[in-house]
A and B are shown apart, each in its own frame.
Chain A
Amino acid sequence: MHCEQARQWLSRFQDGELAPAMHAALADHLKICTACAAELASLTDLRRLVQAAGEPEPPGDLWERISQQLPDPARPRSRWRQPGRTVVAAGVLLVVLVAGGLGLRQAFHSAQPLPAAAGLPPAWQPYLDSRQLSHVGDPVRLDQAARFVSFRVPADLSLPEDYQLEDCCVCGDGCCDVVCCCFVGRTDQVLLVLCADGHPVRTNGPPLAQPRINGKSVRVVRCADRLAALWQANGTAVSLIGPRDLDQLVQLARYVDQRLQAEP
């Protein structure tokens, strides 16, 4: 056996992952080659270093921190994941797909509801797995969402006081990470979707309207029986879906835009 071959096998030899015949051949080589034996000793030193480093101790209050974040078992499950609440769920898909701009939207019907707890259709899973996006559709706290995406997410992002933040999750749209926040009002729900600025946005046909808010153009498109507003704000591409009324949509979009612009 040549040393070159032996070196290629050393790592697997150390792990006991070589076939018996290869293992025996390398063992024979190591008896007569001091250079390769020294290389194996170096690998053993590395293993000793890992063992000597010991086991890090988790903080004692970790469970308390986790349990504080867990939803109350008595509380009903999130409204936008319940069956029948498909309009906003469809909105997530539509906007994510529109914002994605990768042609993936042809693969899924825009009225497809989000499966409970899964966040996105199972058909996306292999693709998302390939991107190692384990957090697809998983709920996150708004103030933690920024840790998982490349764009600004204001920790105090809100809508007017009639609306309460119900859910926030980080999704992948096949190209970029997306933050979806669902706000629940007295009579309706609004979904706010944030992704990276400059993300290609494609819509079916011309927009229904292009009002200006805070000096910038906003595209208004139809989303099932709701309206959606799409625009860019301070490094973030924003989509706001939910209202049926154009004036209400523009009013909410203006409010969100001001919050985003206020971010340093």
Chain B
Amino acid sequence: MRSKMHRGQRLTESQFGFLLALPALAVFGVIILYPLLNSFAMGFTNQSLLKPARRFVGLLNFERIFMDPNILQVFVNTFVFVICTTVLSFSLGFIWAILLNQGIRGSELLRGITLVNWIIPGTAIGFLWMWIFNGQYGVLNAVLRGLGLIEENITWLGRPMTAMAGVIIARAWQTLPWYMAFLLAGLQAVPFEQVEAARIDGANNFGVFTKIVLPNMKFIIFLILILGVIGNLQHFDIIWVMTQGGPAQATTTLAVEVYRRAFQNWELGVAAAIGVLWVLLISIFAFFYIRNLEREGQ
């Protein structure tokens, strides 16, 4: 191809290509890269909104974080929240996708309605589930009492274990349609001839699933699990609306802890230091995501 002319100045083909990507790179630099580097730098200072000047303090913030006896619980909470939401949502989404892929009447309609969960704003989902789990007027208590499973109402979000279970159930509910959509597309791409051949060879449902369906969907499963984990590692709004990290830190994940430190205690330096650790944690998963994309692309 001929090189492009631009204001009388010759641009080579690759320069022109780079020019097209420039706006995206500029936006990335201004709204992602600069704030991120700024936060990283802040992690090594004692910046606080209550004091005017900031001073370089080296690794003091990190020292303080690791001396804090509560931080271990925050990491454990994050771990529990991320693993449970991802596993619960993925497995129910997978089963739901398989059921809706069986071709019963009305499947298309149900697929459509399922996606409603995904488009409801996180804050609304938080309030909705809060209302369901409500200790006095909640429908969950009413149903369990009606079935005779509990004697008295339980304030679900007021106890550490059930509060964690509550936010996990709400978050899994929000993300289920997302997994379903991807897995449904994956299921439909499984070659029908292979399933048929396996049937002729006498495979049962379990055999078809493990020998034909899973191998064919390996890539998509890996991809959505990693994206799911990254999304859950970042998740903030449902937890914040439902429990604000409580009762007594029981549902405080890294996202909630950074927000609390920064915008309630005004300790920007410490918050940024936790943020650095958090981003490093996410980077591990991002690395696997990109490596997998790379491998599939070749």
Q: Do A and B come from one complex?
A: no
